[in-house]
Structure 1
Amino acid sequence: MKSIFSLRNNLIIICALILVITFSWHYGSIYLSLGTCIIISVLFLVLNNSINFDKNTIKILRLVISIGIAIIFFITVLSAKVLNTSTIDWLLSRADPAQHFLGWHFFRNEPWKVPPGIITDFNTPTGTSITYTDSIPLLAFFFKIFSRLLPNEFQYLGIWILLCYILQALFGMLFMRRLTSNISLQLLGLMFFIMSPVMLWRAYGHEALMGHWLILASLYLMKKDYKHIYWLLLLSVSLLVHPYLFLMSLLFFFIKICELLFNRLINITSCLIYLTTAGVVILLVLWFIGYFYFRSSGVSDGFGFYSMNINSVFNPQGWSQYVLKDQPNATGGQYEGFNYLGLGILLLMMWGFYSIVTRRSAIHFKGNTCLLVASIILSLIALSNIVTFGDRVLFEIPIPELLLKICNVVRASGRFFWPVYYMIIILSLTIVIKSTKTKGAMVLLIVALSVQFTDLSGKFTEFHEMYASEAKWDNPLKSEIWEKIDGGKYRNIVFVPAVAKKESVAFSMLASKKGMTINAVYTARDDYAKREQYNNELTNSFKKGVWDTKGIYIVDNSLLISTIENKKANDLFLSVDGFNLLIPNGVLDKNFKDFDLKPFNFHYTYGHKINFGSSGDSHVIKGYGWGESEEKNTWTFGKEASLYFVLDKPKKDLMLSIRMSPLTGGSLKEQHITLIANNHKIKELSIASTSDYQFLIPKDIVNNKLKIILNLPNAATPKELGINGDTRVLALSVESLSLD
């Protein structure tokens, strides 16, 4: 007993208990995982000499405790509510998660196709694939096998997040076992992997990218003897999770092969066999998930914008609760380069630096050269060709257009620092454990973990409140008419033009429920050329009154006049829940006979004030060149915007009064406006402040229709004016208007 309760042990026990009790009282349940880890670690330290566990028992205990702590962290920092597979409101109420769920939702309801990963009813007519909706193909394929046994509304994203934390803990423990045989130190070090800020950040809405265990798996295999089957499995699984995680794993695979060849552990023939078999497996998986079915280049703009800032490892970007202040970024997209280590890891790094300077420890590159090479390559990719520090661009390296297109495949390049991020954690833990005696290392790790938790506690609380709250998706389709739509008669939901909007989520759910297709949704990639061609053909045909009787149409405001002019006697053209709904031959459909359906009243009443806020009625007159309505206003988009009125022929000249504000900033002090009414230039003016601006329109140019065009040559993006990172081309914020 004396050896158990020595003076040092007693001090550690007392301090640990005081620490855990104090933090538990202050932070509540979100501290439970760390508090549990500290208590168990101290118990193992105290009981180490009194209880002799055999190796198998230790393995089982280590496994159970690691998984248990990961589960506790998931439940207390996020929430067990998302494990309810029938709960989908928490997904539908958020933009990206809605896309991820809907991709799976359509995929499961379609019959198996060749290749198996394609989805034809979602994003018609081009369709898409399960990988382009970021729906985690690995789980999508598995659950589709049992689709008939699952409820109509089933989601696995909550299960996936929990699985990621469990696997993060298991691979983190594998690394800790390499660093030390002491289970107390192993458990304490494990918490740094579980509490990873860069992993938790993705819980905002990029569930697939929470698979950081794949990064740890890559790093672990780099330190192990080469097993080709393990690498093939890693490459396949990562490709079935997310392309970015796959590319990171692929880079490590190539570097590992080069290392083997350079060290003459394999010959050229073996090297070619390894590369060829890996290439074949990758191509097969790509085919399986439907990657080649569409002619998407997989390219979007953004390389250099969604990059990593040099300050990212110590720039909290809202994650430091008490100490570190946020620092500016050079672009609005550098949130993708979020790589904040946390104050606890920064503390360990300082201790490591001190240990190296005082020669208590040393960094040995022997055996780690390939990891060093990988970290350099990954860091360069993350920084991109536009190197920034804070809000300054240090320098920009010009790159050829062809190379830029290739780089845009990984436009969110800031993510590529994640493996380096974990290498920094592993290196910091290595120096502490190797340069300090066991009890001293325990004290250091407990202190660092406490600092790390305190620093990140604000975000832990935020995520728990977000995930534990009763999320309620507000379906904008309130009218009973939507339920009366016969999915057998009307096969397609068609947006004209085919542009995805936030309301696409509701219409996607309706389409899935009715067994219909939908043509305007959000996907990660698309066949952009084919999509543009389809959109042009669809819009041009619609303007001529050519529409499919098997479709129901959600018509944009810019097409109101042509729709009114071209609709036939048996067609229903209605305003339902704020949407312009065209149902070909709807008058003849018996499902709609019991409804008091009144055609949309497009007729403007003189003197009526139209509100451009989200609860207003501006949708009845807005044409092209407008963004989505905000709470009190709507911004113009682009260099031109239009308005359409159907009204009585005026008996006097009309006064158009518009309350609006200009976008100004930087060198732009005012917005120039040219207003044109029915092809007649009415007035030019420049505005620099919020006010009611008036335009006199002669009665002679107005019949029963009035088309207003606002030419806005000074429209600009807030980003180029230095206001913020917004890349929309804006000019005017319109609050209301009236015509009298």
Structure 2
Amino acid sequence: MEDRTLSPRPQTALSYAFAAALGVALVAFLFPADFLFPRAGMGWAPQGDAAQHAIAQRYFIGDAWRWPPLLARNILPPEGLNIAFADGIPALALPLKALRGLLPEGFHGIGLWYAIAWVMQPLAAVWCLRGAGERRLLPAVAVALAASAMPAFINRYGHAALTGHFTLLVALGLYLRLVGAQRLRLWAGAALCAVGTLLVHPYLAAMVLALLAAVPATLLLRGERGWGAAAAGLAATAAAVGATMAAFGYLGAAGDGGFGDFALNLLSPVWPWRSWFLGGLVGAEVDASGHGGWEGYNWLGLGLLAGLLVLALRVPRQVAGTVRRHAGLALVLAALTLLALSFRVGLGGAVVLDLGPAPGFLEQFRSSGRFFWPVGLALLIGCIALLARLPRIGPALALAVGLLQFADAAPNRAALRDWAAARPPWTVEAPALRALLAGAERLTLLPSWPCVPKADPLGDHARQLQVLALAAERPVPANTMYVARWRGARSACGDAAVIAAPLAPGELRVILPGARDQASAVMPGFAEACAPVGEILACRLGR
């Protein structure tokens, strides 16, 4: 039962205090200190996408200020790298660059971002629930627990920027407030939210704009006059995002395409992969695309599903009434679900509907399964808010749902903790390369990223990232980088001319196995300049 002896103000303070304490406790439990606060010279190697993000931030923080503001010209010369295209989390990288004189050598904020996201997730959930009119303590505790245990949120480890699900909760909270009153300060907050989310990750920004678009849609469907003002606020918000994209160099970028390769499976929301209670029923993510089910992973959690079942059985009319009152949001969430499913709809291991090629603009959203994230969060907020309103037992029942959701997510938290605590060894000779890089003015790494075949039988892609991670500690200007998006046509392999050129003073040329035979055949002074460093070759003048 809810404690009615507390006045609203103490309940508010206690709600946010619990959410903050929960987030801090989870950060302390999940992430080691050297993960949160890295520095140069560490004895373990960053891996995969996390390595890409850390490299991008290190090069950006170590470079001069430029225009566009996200440009790091000390990598991928002469154009340089826009760190947004390597998921370098500009929203954090920009203030870190401003503070770089206070940071340890080789610091990057990728680990720190996880701490920010995990503290903000329960706080944003409490704020969002209050927008639904529920301001009591027990429901706030419930939503903080449940939001921090949403499986799709926890399972984003390896891709730091995409853990920013709190931005979706903030946008949903803004929707709930804006459908109640059109206030300039709220739309200013919406614009700030959308622009800030863009500087976290464009996928999240698209979801935020979709949630904000539900404001005029809901008001229009209600027949309320405020829909025109809401449409103007949405247009101003979208314009702010567009202006930021233009000013910060986002426009004109393209990726690999493949819309639907990483889609939502129809069974994903109820497929209990990594459920503490039901996980033994399945052995992996569900997938019909042949690309694995990680991007489409959207198990809602046993607590949320149980809460939705209780509502469907106990108060179906109230649920239907809520959907009608928020019809614009319901339509947006339905559209996001369809986008997440893509044009090739999977049910279990089979594709049950294939609509053929998607329109070209959708190719920007290869990982379409992510678009179900706002749907899961909206179901969570609605579930807790409606449960809490049940007579007598409502707040206690909401708390039970939050506790069940939190307990059910234990395997997901364990997987994240193991990943954050892993200390994979370097597969390159890190001490020797650090010594060589200390005397280098620039790094030429061969083969460059466009020249490594996708199958990569030699493992050069992983070696590339490790060599670049070492070079980024200073950072030493480098010729190549693994990026998620690029401007114009994807760069063709142009290594032949680079390999055939003589070494320049101050250049360190690192030859990976995939370029060894070509270098030995055509590189001037190869025998005199190059020496093995483990499985790779390091070449420089006067070695």
TM-score, length of structure 2 as denominator length: 0.86
Structure 1 residues 429 and 392: alpha-carbon distance in aligned structure 2, compared to 1, 3 A threshold: same
Structure 1 residues 90 and 553: alpha-carbon distance in aligned structure 2, compared to 1, 3 A threshold: closer
Structure 1 residues 125 and 360: alpha-carbon distance in aligned structure 2, compared to 1, 3 A threshold: closer
Q: Which residue of 2 aligns with 1:337?
A: 296
Distance in 1 (alpha carbons) for counterparts of 2:226 and 2:400: 45
Q: Which residue of 1 aligns with 2:9?
A: 56
2:305 maps to a residue whose letter is L
Q: Which residue, 142, 149, 154 being the options, matches 2:102?
A: 149
SS of the residue corresponding to residue 494 of structure 1 reads: strand
The equivalences for 1:213-252 within 5 A come to 213-224=166-177, 225-226=181-182, 227-252=186-211
1:483 maps to a residue whose letter is A
Deviation at 1:55, TM superposition (A): 4.0
Deviation at 1:281, TM superposition (A): 1.9
Q: Which residue of 2 aligns with 1:529?
A: 489
Deviation at 1:539, TM superposition (A): 1.2
Q: Which residue of 1 aligns with 2:246?
A: 287
Counterpart contact for 1:115–1:290, Cα < 8 Å: yes
Deviation at 1:151, TM superposition (A): 1.1
Matched, 1:428 2:383: yes
The equivalences for 1:512-661 within 5 A come to 512-513=472-473, 515-527=475-487, 529=489, 531-532=491-492, 535-536=493-494, 538-540=495-497, 542=499, 545-550=500-505, 551-555=507-511, 557=513, 560-568=516-524, 571-583=528-540, 586=541, 589=542, 592=543
Structure 1 residues 563 and 183: alpha-carbon distance in aligned structure 2, compared to 1, 3 A threshold: closer
Deviation at 1:368, TM superposition (A): 0.4
Distance in 1 (alpha carbons) for counterparts of 2:434 and 2:117: 39
Deviates more, 1:327-336 or 1:304-313: 327-336
Q: Which residue of 1 aligns with 2:426?
A: 474
Deviates more, 1:411-420 or 1:310-319: 310-319
Matched, 1:196 2:153: no
Q: Which residue, 111, 118, 123 being the options, matches 1:170?
A: 123
2:298 maps to a residue whose letter is N
Deviation at 1:89, TM superposition (A): 5.3
Structure 1 residues 520 and 195: alpha-carbon distance in aligned structure 2, compared to 1, 3 A threshold: same
Counterpart contact for 2:145–2:405, Cα < 8 Å: no
Deviation at 1:413, TM superposition (A): 0.5
Deviates more, 1:142-151 or 1:442-451: 442-451
SS of the residue corresponding to residue 503 of structure 1 reads: helix
Aligned length: 521
Counterpart contact for 2:216–2:231, Cα < 8 Å: no
SS of the residue corresponding to residue 115 of structure 1 reads: coil
2:25 maps to a residue whose letter is I
Q: Which residue of 1 aligns with 2:464?
A: 504
Distance in 2 (alpha carbons) for counterparts of 1:114 and 1:316: 47
Deviates more, 1:153-162 or 1:131-140: 153-162
Distance in 2 (alpha carbons) for counterparts of 1:218 and 1:360: 24
Q: Which residue of 2 aligns with 1:26?
A: none
SS of the residue corresponding to residue 524 of structure 1 reads: coil
The equivalences for 1:107-146 within 5 A come to 107-146=60-99
Counterpart contact for 1:315–1:325, Cα < 8 Å: no
* Cα offsets for 1:109-138 (capped at 9, x unmatched): 110011111112223444221211211101
Matched, 1:307 2:263: yes
Structure 1 residues 387 and 102: alpha-carbon distance in aligned structure 2, compared to 1, 3 A threshold: same
Q: Which residue of 1 aligns with 2:445?
A: 494
Structure 1 or 2: larger strand share? 1
Q: Which residue of 2 aligns with 1:388?
A: 346
Deviation at 1:418, TM superposition (A): 0.7
2:489 maps to a residue whose letter is A
1:244 maps to a residue whose letter is Y
Counterpart contact for 2:142–2:384, Cα < 8 Å: no
Deviation at 1:417, TM superposition (A): 0.6
Counterpart contact for 2:155–2:412, Cα < 8 Å: no
Q: Which residue, 304, 316, 332 being the options, matches 2:272?
A: 316
Structure 1 residues 81 and 555: alpha-carbon distance in aligned structure 2, compared to 1, 3 A threshold: closer
Structure 1 residues 487 and 79: alpha-carbon distance in aligned structure 2, compared to 1, 3 A threshold: closer
The equivalences for 1:686-705 within 5 A come to none
SS of the residue corresponding to residue 483 of structure 2 reads: coil
Distance in 2 (alpha carbons) for counterparts of 1:160 and 1:240: 13
CA RMSD of aligned residues (A): 3.0
The answer for unaligned runs of 5 or more in structure 1 is 1-41, 593-740
Deviation at 1:450, TM superposition (A): 4.3
SS of the residue corresponding to residue 531 of structure 1 reads: coil
Q: Which residue, 359, 374, 395 being the options, matches 2:332?
A: 374
Deviation at 1:172, TM superposition (A): 1.3
Structure 1 residues 167 and 265: alpha-carbon distance in aligned structure 2, compared to 1, 3 A threshold: farther
Distance in 2 (alpha carbons) for counterparts of 1:430 and 1:422: 12
Q: Which residue, 413, 423, 429 being the options, matches 1:460?
A: 413
Structure 1 residues 414 and 560: alpha-carbon distance in aligned structure 2, compared to 1, 3 A threshold: closer
Distance in 2 (alpha carbons) for counterparts of 1:266 and 1:162: 39
2:326 maps to a residue whose letter is N
Structure 1 residues 142 and 356: alpha-carbon distance in aligned structure 2, compared to 1, 3 A threshold: same
Deviation at 1:154, TM superposition (A): 1.4
Structure (1 or 2) with the larger CA radius of gyration: 1
SS of the residue corresponding to residue 249 of structure 1 reads: helix
Distance in 1 (alpha carbons) for counterparts of 2:431 and 2:198: 42
SS of the residue corresponding to residue 111 of structure 2 reads: helix
Q: Which residue of 1 aligns with 2:364?
A: 409
Distance in 1 (alpha carbons) for counterparts of 2:364 and 2:331: 22
Q: Which residue, 208, 219, 232 being the options, matches 2:161?
A: 208
TM-score, length of structure 1 as denominator length: 0.65
Structure 1 residues 528 and 492: alpha-carbon distance in aligned structure 2, compared to 1, 3 A threshold: farther
Q: Which residue of 2 aligns with 1:601?
A: none
* Cα offsets for 1:568-609 (capped at 9, x unmatched): 4584133221113333xx2xx2xx3xxxxxxxxxxxxxxxxx
2:387 maps to a residue whose letter is V
Deviation at 1:389, TM superposition (A): 0.6
Structure 1 residues 180 and 481: alpha-carbon distance in aligned structure 2, compared to 1, 3 A threshold: closer
Distance in 2 (alpha carbons) for counterparts of 1:167 and 1:451: 21
Deviation at 1:77, TM superposition (A): 4.2
Structure 1 residues 463 and 512: alpha-carbon distance in aligned structure 2, compared to 1, 3 A threshold: closer
Distance in 2 (alpha carbons) for counterparts of 1:309 and 1:66: 32
SS of the residue corresponding to residue 323 of structure 2 reads: coil
